[in-house]
Amino acid sequence: MQKLLPYSLYEVTIAPRNSLSVPSSFEINTPKVVKEIRTGEKVPDGPPVHVSAHEISETSASVSWESPQCDVRNGEITQYEYKFVGSDPWVEHDLRQATTARTRTLLHDLAPGSRYQFQVRAFTSLGHGPWSPPLEIRTSGSETGMPREVHPVSIGARQITFSWLPPYPVKSPIGHYRLKYSKANENMREVSVDIDDLSCANMKSSLISAESLCYTLKNLDPQSTYRLEVAAVSPDGRTGRWAPTVYASTKESRAEGSPLGFLKLLQADEDSLRVHWAVPEDVQEEVSHYSVEIAPETFGGMVAPLERKNISHDQTTHHFKKLEPDTNYNVTVRGASSGRWIWSMSKVFRTKGKGESILYWLPAPSNLELIERSDKMLHVAWDPSEILLSSLADDVTNYRVGPYSKMSSVTDSGYGEMLWNVFSTLPYPGAPDILRLKHRTPTTLNITWTPVWETSILGYQIHSYPLWPAHVPTHPIPVITDVEPGKIEATITGLQPATIYNVTLVPKDRTQGIYGLFATLPLGSFVPRDLKVCDESAHAISLSFAPIDYASASHYQVW
């Protein structure tokens, strides 16, 4: 029997047949056998039907379906497999699949205001059938996303400026923003702001980028904590999700005429002093110009100033030159407005004695590295000093560097901290440069090499012998590092800071190897870079910095 339907019940009758002619008057009982037979299963030829979504919310949806039509079911349905994927660009990577024995499922953790495609297929014991046609599901809620990275970027006694980034990904155009703010224990006040009124053009902060938006809350109470929430609004008035609440405290109010602000020394050498000042925020916008003067410190009597000069209101540093070594000077800075002094501050600073002209604001360069070498030449490179005060960055005029010497940054009036490293020339003209230093810390050396041996070696051993400084023992124990075959780089750990090592690389099946001299960094030299002050108040300060290279820090210490 052929062309039967899968998994169908048939009644089969079998009876003998006599071909001889028998008169109709004779009654003959012909024996027969009747049996029910079911054909075997196969995979379904059709998908589940009546697939529908209901109970749709912002983040979930319930989907149900029915088994494939009977004539294409082809067996007992054992389970269903379903999948759904986001249709909108911001959820297109959200693909999920699962199996169930039921004809209903709940989709959860969906994005508000987003479209998804849902499909389901049925399984028999022999496998799965085709997918159902895609069902589009659209979650409720706004398509407008949530503002990102809301931060206070400027804090005063009576105002706070916040910045944030627009929602990402962009789900729909943004017409304006809604802001809610209040003191910590008061009812929220709300304000709507057009995008054109959210410029950050006059703000300076490392937290502000080209995409940032800024808004200033004004007429606040001094020394009070405020909370802020921000939401984007689409052109048709639909409000998106509110960003998490951000808290910030205003600064202490400064009484008129109080001598607040600061005057501090940036640089002192044998014949000059460089100072920096800041006026109270309350009077900052009123200052039309500054007057700076310097005079030798005296104990009784008046001494005419050596220098007196008026400078622009936007300048807050001044360099006094042609002074005497090892001498105390009284420096006075005044702020003027409408012909009267509204701020004044004086302090005494001392010039350096001869031979003391190291600049404490000028740290050592970093990352002193070997680029190329020969038997008579070393080509080195380094990163410039990280100078926190941008007004002094242009004062660096040159670098002092040479063999058997340390390196430092130099200005016209002194030099900064020094950096050193150890490099060795090649043993003879044309010798191959095999072993090289890639990176170092106070306790590690990361070295790399060019494989010049055949590939059948069993690996390497690295022997690191300390040679300097003086605290190295008479018979030092080398640090031995095993390296797997095929590797061309290794990190030697457990070393001493500020120590020169003879590093020898030896294949495990050889007795001769190659060597080089390398030095670990001194303690304190391996520090985060690009340290910046993001914001400060009367009782707090916010800092940012770049992480150290190679992500080898387990934690950071701030003090």
Is residue 48 pLDDT above 90, yes or no?
yes
Angle at 319 between CA 315 and CA 324, to 5 degrees: 160
Q: Tally Cβ neighbours within 10 Å of residue 20.
A: 4
Which residues contact residue 491 at a Cβ distance below 8 angstroms, ignoring those fewer than 6 apart? 444, 445, 446
Of 14-28, 137-151, 444-458, minimum mean pLDDT range: 14-28
Whether residue 8 is contained in a domain is answered as no
Instruction: Read off the pLDDT of each residue in 171-182 and give the average, rounded to a whole number.
Output: 88
Helices (H), 20-114: 70-73
Same domain, 160 and 231: yes
Give whole-number Cα distances, 109 to 57, 91, 114, in Å. 11, 11, 12
Same domain, 173 and 208: yes
Instruction: Read off the pLDDT of each residue in 238-261 and give the average, rounded to a whole number.
Output: 73
Of 86-95, 239-248, 406-415, minimum mean pLDDT range: 406-415
Is residue 255 pLDDT above 50, yes or no?
no
Q: Is the distance from CB of 25 to CB of 37 less than 8 angstroms? A: no
Using the 3D structure, point to which of 186, 214, 249 is the last residue of a domain: 249
Is residue 197 pLDDT above 60, yes or no?
yes
Taking the C-alpha atoms of residue 410 and residue 413, their distance in angstroms, rounded to an integer, is 8
Whether residue 393 is contained in a domain is answered as yes
Whether residue 226 is contained in a domain is answered as yes
Is residue 256 pLDDT above 50, yes or no?
no
Helix, strand counts (H, E) of the chain: 2, 38
Same domain, 244 and 266: no
Taking the C-alpha atoms of residue 175 and residue 231, their distance in angstroms, rounded to an integer, is 11
Whether residue 241 is contained in a domain is answered as yes
pLDDT of residue 358: 58
Task: Please tell me which residue, 456 or 226, carries the higher pLDDT value.
Answer: 226
The β-bridge partners of 336 are 289, 341
Predicted confidence band of residue 5 (pLDDT cuts 50, 70, 90): confident
Instruction: Judge if the upstream peptide bond of residue 166 is cis by omega within 30 degrees of 0.
Output: no
Same domain, 236 and 169: yes
Same domain, 457 and 496: yes
pLDDT of residue 54: 92
Same domain, 177 and 217: yes
Mean of pLDDT over the chain: 82
The β-bridge partners of 280 are none
pLDDT of residue 479: 87
pLDDT of residue 513: 82
Instruction: Read off the pLDDT of each residue in 183-208 and give the average, rounded to a whole number.
Output: 87
Residue 193, domain extent: 148-249
CATH number of the domain bearing residue 171: 2.60.40.10
| φ, ψ (nearest 5 deg) of residue 376 | -135, 10
Whether residue 49 is contained in a domain is answered as no
For 322-377, the pLDDT digits (tens) are 998 888 899 999 998 888 888 888 888 988 876 555 566 677 787 777 777 777 88
DSSP state of 195: G
pLDDT of residue 101: 93
Whether residue 105 is contained in a domain is answered as no
Is residue 291 pLDDT above 80, yes or no?
yes
Instruction: Read off the pLDDT of each residue in 95-104 and give the average, rounded to a whole number.
Output: 94
Taking the C-alpha atoms of residue 261 and residue 290, their distance in angstroms, rounded to an integer, is 14
Predicted confidence band of residue 491 (pLDDT cuts 50, 70, 90): very high
Taking the C-alpha atoms of residue 548 and residue 559, their distance in angstroms, rounded to an integer, is 17
Is residue 436 pLDDT above 60, yes or no?
yes
In the chain, the amino acid numbered 496 is Q
Whether residue 202 is contained in a domain is answered as yes
Taking the C-alpha atoms of residue 445 and residue 437, their distance in angstroms, rounded to an integer, is 7
Taking the C-alpha atoms of residue 161 and residue 220, their distance in angstroms, rounded to an integer, is 11
pLDDT of residue 102: 94
Same domain, 336 and 382: no
Percent of the chain at pLDDT > 70 equals: 84
Predicted confidence band of residue 257 (pLDDT cuts 50, 70, 90): very low
Of 165-169, 297-301, 533-537, minimum mean pLDDT range: 297-301
Is residue 22 pLDDT above 70, yes or no?
no
Of 60-64, 297-301, 312-316, minimum mean pLDDT range: 297-301
Taking the C-alpha atoms of residue 86 and residue 75, their distance in angstroms, rounded to an integer, is 33
Is residue 417 pLDDT above 70, yes or no?
no
Count: domains in the chain: 4
Using the 3D structure, point to which of 519, 535, 551 is the last residue of a domain: 519
Most confident of 63-67, 358-362, 392-396, 474-478: 63-67
Same domain, 208 and 266: no
Give whole-number Cα distances, 131 to 81, 82, 126, 134, 138, in Å. 9, 9, 16, 8, 20
pLDDT of residue 320: 93
Same domain, 459 and 486: yes
Q: What is the pTM of this model?
A: 0.35
Q: 214-240: string of b/e by CB count within 10 Å (b at 16+)? A: bbebeebeeebebbbbbbbbbeeeeeb
Using a 10 angstrom Cβ sphere, with 0-12 exposed, 13-18 middle and 19 or more buried, the burial of residue 110 is buried
pLDDT of residue 68: 94
CA-based R_g, the chain, Å: 40
pLDDT of residue 136: 95
Whether residue 283 is contained in a domain is answered as yes
Same domain, 408 and 444: no
Instruction: Read off the pLDDT of each residue in 429-440 and give the average, rounded to a whole number.
Output: 80
Using the 3D structure, point to which of 216, 249, 282 is the last residue of a domain: 249
